[in-house]
């Protein structure tokens, strides 16, 4: 089998309220890998808020696709390394890794389709469903928005809900956490996410103030560029630190693990290097009994989480725009694996006609 063409496209998917008060839309950059045997693999990555999408697409078009035409798409390890090695003047973080991730996701989809199996089965399944947590709780939400989204999340059986805590006024964050805990009761898990917005001391102060509200994890306290500062926060607060959505490849996650920057890792399959790299990162973490709770893309990450011993939670949201031909099924807070060959996902006709830019 040979790669005949890789067709790129862009989808601007509008966010529903109240999420759209923070991000009006998110952008998918899509790479459809076509072969001489007629099989097609669907690769994609997502840029939150859309920033960087045109750069990712340009990197795909200019740097990656020309190197892949004529190659055997089933030699995924070889092609991943070829993409990674291609450009010695651009470190593989950010834009290039979003693009490499999209291709890797498409190659694995093709591989699964070629053998007629869903990916989770190929990697040694340990389960066929994984618990989800409700992501959302943006800084632009009112307390009422927070409570409504959290309650809707718990109503479908999920036991975890995550809110943001990056407001510059520490006490305002504390009051929002207090109000949410009071509204939802003590029987559910609350997670908080600073989205790199606070400094070391502010994080420590905030974590101490919200510790009485029984917080499940404290996410991405400082700039992702400063692993030592994240490690300092992790050492000095009593809430487990989670991080990794802005980290890339096994090398970046090795540094997080070695420096004890987090006890839970949040790799994003659409950024960190695709299925190939998420598997390596998960196995590395397993050797340290560190759990994996991927950032976004639950419909893809579930294939890896269903095949590793250290799966924790999938990020999902009750407040989302349906874009899939078959939406992932969540029952009693558990997402079922998409049981179709490859990763099993395809954009719906309605989503393509509504959101396709070109």
Binding-site ranges for Mg ion (CB under 5 A) = 193
**Terminal-to-terminal C-alpha distance of the chain:** 28
Q: Select 10 or 196, whichever has its Cβ closest to Mg ion.
A: 196
Of the residues 160, 295, 303, 343, only one is catalytic, namely 295
Report the SS3 class of residue 348.
coil
Q: Within 10 A of 327 (CB to CB), how many other CB atoms are there?
A: 13
| Residue pair 48/12 in contact by the 8 Å Cβ criterion | no
Residue 295 annotated in active site: yes
Q: Select 193 or 299, whichever has its Cβ closest to Mg ion.
A: 193
- Quote the least distance from Cβ 110 to Mg ion, whole Å: 30
- Quote the least distance from Cβ 162 to Mg ion, whole Å: 8
- Quote the least distance from Cβ 79 to Mg ion, whole Å: 30
Q: Select 32 or 240, whichever has its Cβ closest to Mg ion.
A: 240
Task: Report d(CA 336, CA 303) in Å as an integer.
Answer: 10
Helix (H) or strand (E) holding 242: strand 241-243
Residue 7 annotated in active site: no
**Which residue of the chain is nearest Mg ion when measured via CB?**
193
Task: Report d(CA 118, CA 73) in Å as an integer.
Answer: 17
Of the residues 113, 162, 164, 280, only one is catalytic, namely 164
- Quote the least distance from Cβ 219 to Mg ion, whole Å: 5
Q: Select 145 or 193, whichever has its Cβ closest to Mg ion.
A: 193
Of 287, 236, 296, 284, nearest to 261 (Cα)?
A: 236
Q: Select 193 or 277, whichever has its Cβ closest to Mg ion.
A: 193
Tokens of 219: 């996410």
Distance of CA 157 to the CA centre of its chain: 21
Q: Select 64 or 272, whichever has its Cβ closest to Mg ion.
A: 272
- Quote the least distance from Cβ 7 to Mg ion, whole Å: 31
- When computed from its CA atoms, the radius of gyration of the chain, rounded to whole angstroms, is 20
Task: Report d(CA 121, CA 176) in Å as an integer.
Answer: 42
- Quote the least distance from Cβ 134 to Mg ion, whole Å: 13
Report the 3 state secondary structure along 23-65.
Answer: CCEEEEEEEEEEECCCCEEEEEEEEHHHCCHHHHHHHHHHHHH
- Quote the least distance from Cβ 257 to Mg ion, whole Å: 18
Is the peptide bond between 18 and the residue preceding it cis, with omega within 30 degrees of 0?
Answer: yes
Q: Select 113 or 176, whichever has its Cβ closest to Mg ion.
A: 176
DSSP string covering 288-342, please?
Answer: TT-EE--SS-HHHHHHHHTT-TTB--EEE-SS----BSSPPPEETTEEEP--SSB
Query: Could you give the residue numbers annotated as active site?
Result: 164, 295
């Amino acid at each position: 089998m040979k790669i005949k063409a890789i067709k790129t496209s862009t989808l601007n998917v509008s966010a529903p309220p109240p999420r759209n008060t923070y991000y009006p839309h998110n952008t998918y950059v899509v790479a459809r890998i076509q072969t001489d045997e007629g099989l097609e693999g669907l690769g994609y990555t997502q840029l939150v808020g859309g920033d960087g999408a045109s750069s990712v697409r340009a990197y795909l078009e200019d740097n990656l696709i020309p190197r892949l035409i004529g190659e055997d798409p089933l030699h995924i390890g070889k092609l991943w390394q070829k993409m990674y090695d291609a450009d010695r003047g651009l470190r593989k973080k950010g834009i290039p890794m979003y693009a490499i991730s999209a291709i890797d996701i498409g190659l694995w989809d093709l591989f699964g389709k070629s053998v007629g199996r869903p990916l989770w089965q190929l990697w040694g399944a340990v389960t066929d469903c994984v618990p989800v947590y409700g992501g959302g709780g943006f800084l632009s939400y009112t307390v009422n928005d927070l409570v409504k989204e959290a309650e809707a999340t718990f109503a479908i059986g999920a036991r975890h809900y995550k809110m943001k805590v990056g407001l510059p006024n520490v006490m305002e964050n504390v009051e929002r956490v207090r109000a949410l805990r009071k509204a939802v009761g003590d029987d559910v898990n609350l997670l908080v996410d600073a989205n790199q917005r606070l400094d070391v001391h502010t994080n420590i102060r905030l974590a101490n103030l919200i510790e009485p509200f029984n917080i499940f994890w404290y996410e991405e306290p400082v700039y992702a560029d400063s692993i030592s500062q994240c490690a300092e926060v992790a050492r000095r607060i009593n809430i487990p630190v989670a991080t990794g959505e802005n980290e890339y490849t096994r090398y970046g996650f090795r540094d997080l693990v070695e420096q004890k920057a987090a006890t839970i890792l949040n790799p994003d399959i659409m950024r960190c290097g695709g299925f190939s790299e998420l598997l390596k990162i998960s196995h590395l973490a397993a050797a340290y009994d560190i759990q994996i709770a991927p950032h976004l893309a639950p419909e893809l990450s579930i294939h890896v989480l269903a095949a590793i011993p250290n799966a924790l939670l999938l990020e999902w949201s009750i407040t989302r725009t349906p874009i899939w031909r078959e939406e992932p099924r969540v029952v009693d807070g558990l997402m079922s694996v998409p049981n179709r060959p490859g990763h099993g996902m395809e954009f719906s006709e309605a989503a393509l006609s509504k959101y396709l830019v070109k």
